[in-house]
Chain A
Amino acid sequence: MKKKNAFRKELPYIAFLIPALIVYTVMMFWPMVQAIFLSFTDWNGLSFEGLHFIGFENYAKVLHDKQIMTSMTNTFIFAIFVPIFVTIIAIPLSVALNSKMKTRNFQRAAFFFPSVPSALVLGYLWSYIMSPMDYGLLNKFVTSLGFRKVLWLSKPNLAMFSVIFVCVWSQIGWHACIYLAQLQSIPGELYESARIDGANGWQIFTRITIPLLKPAIGTSVMLLLISSLKVFDLPFALTGGGPGFSTTMISQVIIQKGFSDRMYGQSMATAVLFFIIVAVVTIIQQKGGKKNG
């Protein structure tokens, strides 16, 4: 009887969830299940007639494909360095934006703004800023200092650096806001007590601010990790994945294999493999976050 009453009480909430559940199942869950199934077949992308089960053949091809392996490496490099640099810059920035300045509100808006336009727009914008042409702002600045033009997007290592730089530049404001929100929940008495006890700025920062920012750090790093792993638009707009394969990310390869090359089986095998890797990374990151409290 108690169970029946409890269920009746839950019923309205379940009813509200059903439409969202249906949409999620149809748009996300079912295509994912289908993709996993089709990754073991030679599906031609058009009809299921003549479909053959080919086992792990697609997976074997994927693991032996140099371009796919290169793009996985690129993606992991991107996903490691972007969270590191954003975190290192966003935390001190949030402390600065939390201080009492007359222009505090303006500065918060100014730093937040780069995260507003879409990554595609930012990519195209920075491709002009970093262009080797005469109107490339960055090279105008470099040559005005007496140095030679820098081929930001033409040299493979520099191209990857440029992609990471633009991503970090666009994300620091947004993640500084996450830290700012957390900072504002730290009681001011803690800082007062620390100053009374003779702690200097650096000690306050490392012994009070950073430990109390841990929840925000966990959230920020998780968001950065996931978005960096599945990045597509920024490198595509900035470099097209080049020069060569130096900034080709795994998402670009998945799309290219599927829609351009029409090798749907390999495309889905790549996507499934990558899904597994992202899931493992996320679980490790979550568990690591819980351990550190």
Chain B
Amino acid sequence: MMKAKMAKTLAAAMAFTTIAGAGSVSAFAKDKSVVTLLSWYTEDQMKPLAEGFEAANPDYELEVQYVPPTDQYIEKLTLLMNGNEPTDLFFMCPEVREDVVATDFAVDLSDLPIMDRLSEGAKSCLGVGDAVYGVSLDSWIAFMFYNKDIFEEAGIKETPKTWDELVEDMGKIQDAGYSPYAIDMDNVGRLAFGLFSADEVSKDMHVEDAISDGSKKFSELYKDTMNRWADDVVAPGYLGQESLSLTSNQVNEMFATGQIGMMIGGTWTIPSINEINPDLNWGGFAFPGTDGGQMLQGAANVGIGIARKADNMEGAKAFMDYLTSDDGIQAWSGAFGNFMNPSGVDYEVDSHLEEFKQYVADGKLYWQTVEWPNSNIMNTVYVPYCQNILAGVNTVDEMLQAMDDKFAEYAGK
């Protein structure tokens, strides 16, 4: 009887202690205010920023809710925009600019001090008009990779500075017995983008606004570019039809194993090349235009914004203060290793890409699908038609007409 009483008392005491302990833990947890972030990047990738923020702001805890980019992320963000329970912070991307304005979802960050250190491109990429809805701290770039040994063998002494020189170099590489250039099937028309940027965008960054506002058709702006691409690169066979069945990994492999002279890639391509052939003697150059204009492909990357209906507005603002501080910017640079947008930041990139820092600082990078309205839809026409031009199924005029029709169909939507 005594034993039973003691057992019961002990059990009750243990239960009480557990409940009290849990209560005290939850009470402790309640001291930290949670700031939620709908994230384009994984928790692991965001860890340096989360840790830095929490160290600088011990009262806050960052909760990262990861959704894989790009379509899934945009779908989730669109759902939040049309619902009533947004996360406090989110990654702003160019594809949702119109929706953000239509739903009044985000806080205008154009008054933040960091904006004085960002280029127009970095601000406009995540904004509409004068408003800016996300702080883009870095940029991705793409450029022409070239095999220095193949160039030497083909008698090419320096990288091409004009489109004609590029075409001539392709001919020399082909004469030397190599494939001059290859690209994966989903990016067949990418070189044409590069030519357009170097020729037109280098003179006027807003040249394609005319397509968005309907004052000019796609065909009016792109006719010359697409014809030059088709006549100078496709017709002579410098871009072979085998590209229509190549994946980006296969193109990387062909380049790394010295089968092709040139390919288009970005910072994300370098680890793959280093893995396949770390001894490859390669370099990079910007896309050359007809008159010597040069541009990189690229855009300001996605950046963090604050939801207007954030539950924890104070916490969201505290995070933004940290993110745009020198510590936050360095943490971002360390986490992602891209080209940094804010001026006056000391950061490291691959040694082959040092010269491109100035391009980024000067905003000499452009990516069509960031600027096009409904770009993911336009790509469903642009990519297959470029493939068909390479396959000899469609002409450039047919492609231009299809693009005009598609832009017209989705105008105002």
Contacts and interface: CB of A to CB of B under 8 A. Distances in A.
Interface of A: 46-47, 66-67, 127, 130-133, 149, 151-156, 159, 239-246, 248, 256, 259-261
Given A261-B376, A261-B377, A46 B78 contact: yes
Nearest to A253: B380
B384 A155 contact: no
With most chain B CB atoms within 10 A of its CB, the pick from A66, A133, A244 is: A244
A244 B245 contact: no
Size bin of chain B's contact surface: 20 to 34
A105 B341 CA distance: 66
A118 B399 CA distance: 36
A248 B381 CA distance: 13
Interface string B190-220: 0000000000000000000000000000000
B185 interface: yes
B71 A244 contact: no
Given A151-B244, A154-B242, A243 B185 contact: yes
B82 A244 contact: no
Contact of A154 (B82, B244, B254): B244
A54 to B, nearest CB: 14
Given A155-B241, A242-B384, A244-B391, A133 B376 contact: no
B186 interface: yes
A244 B380 contact: no
30 contacts: A46-B78, A46-B82, A47-B82, A66-B402, A67-B384, A130-B245, A131-B245, A132-B242, A132-B245, A133-B246, A133-B254, A149-B242, A151-B244, A153-B245, A154-B241, A154-B242, A154-B243, A154-B244, A155-B241, A155-B244, A159-B245, A243-B390, A243-B391, A243-B393, A244-B387, A244-B394, A245-B384, A246-B391, A260-B71, A260-B380
Given A154-B245, A243-B244, 6 more contacts: A156-B391, A242-B244, A242-B384, A244-B384, A244-B385, A261-B380
B79 interface: yes
B17 interface: no
Interface string B238-257: 00011111100010011000
A133 B247 CA distance: 11
Contacts of A245: 384, 388
Contacts of A153: 244-245
B387 A243 contact: yes
Contact of A155 (B78, B246, B376, B391): B391
Given A131-B250, A261-B377, A239 B388 contact: no
A240 B243 CA distance: 13
A256 B380 contact: yes
Interface string B367-398: 00000000011001100110110110110000
Contacts of A159: 245
Contact of B186 (A155, A240, A248): A240
Contacts of A156: 388, 391, 393
Contacts of B241: 151, 154-155
Contacts of A132: 242, 245-246
Give the dominant DSSP class at A's interface.
Answer: loop
Which 10 A-B pairs rank lowest in CB-CB distance, beginning with the nearest?
A153-B245, A244-B388, A154-B244, A132-B242, A243-B244, A243-B387, A154-B245, A46-B82, A244-B384, A244-B387
Contact of B245 (A46, A151, A241): A151
A242 B189 CA distance: 14
Contacts of B394: 244
B250 A154 contact: no
A70 to B, nearest CB: 10
Contacts of B387: 242-244
A242 B245 CA distance: 8
Nearest to B374: A261
A66 B394 CA distance: 13
Given A156-B391, A244-B391, A244-B393, A133 B253 contact: yes
Contacts of B82: 46-47
A244 B398 CA distance: 13
Given A243-B390, A244-B393, A133 B71 contact: no
Nearest to A154: B244
A154 B376 contact: no
Nearest to B72: A259
Contacts of B242: 132, 149, 151, 154
Contact of A152 (B245, B380, B388): B245
Contacts of A131: 245-246, 250
Contacts of B388: 156, 243-245
A193 to B, nearest CB: 54
Contacts of B244: 151, 153-155, 242-243
B185 A242 contact: yes
Contacts of A152: 245
Nearest to B241: A154
Contact of A240 (B71, B78, B185, B391): B185
Contacts of B250: 131, 133
Given A46-B82, A133-B254, A260 B377 contact: yes
A76 B300 CA distance: 44
A85 B380 CA distance: 32
Contact of B79 (A46, A240, A246): A46
Contacts of B393: 156, 243-244, 246
A239 B245 contact: yes
A59 B375 CA distance: 24
Contacts of A151: 241-242, 244-245
Contacts of B185: 240, 242-243
Contacts of B376: 260-261
Nearest to A61: B409
Nearest to A244: B388
A47 B380 CA distance: 26
With most chain A CB atoms within 10 A of its CB, the pick from B186, B241, B385, B402 is: B241
Contacts of B377: 260-261
Contacts of A246: 391, 393
A261 B380 CA distance: 9
A234 to B, nearest CB: 15
With most chain B CB atoms within 10 A of its CB, the pick from A240, A248, A261 is: A240
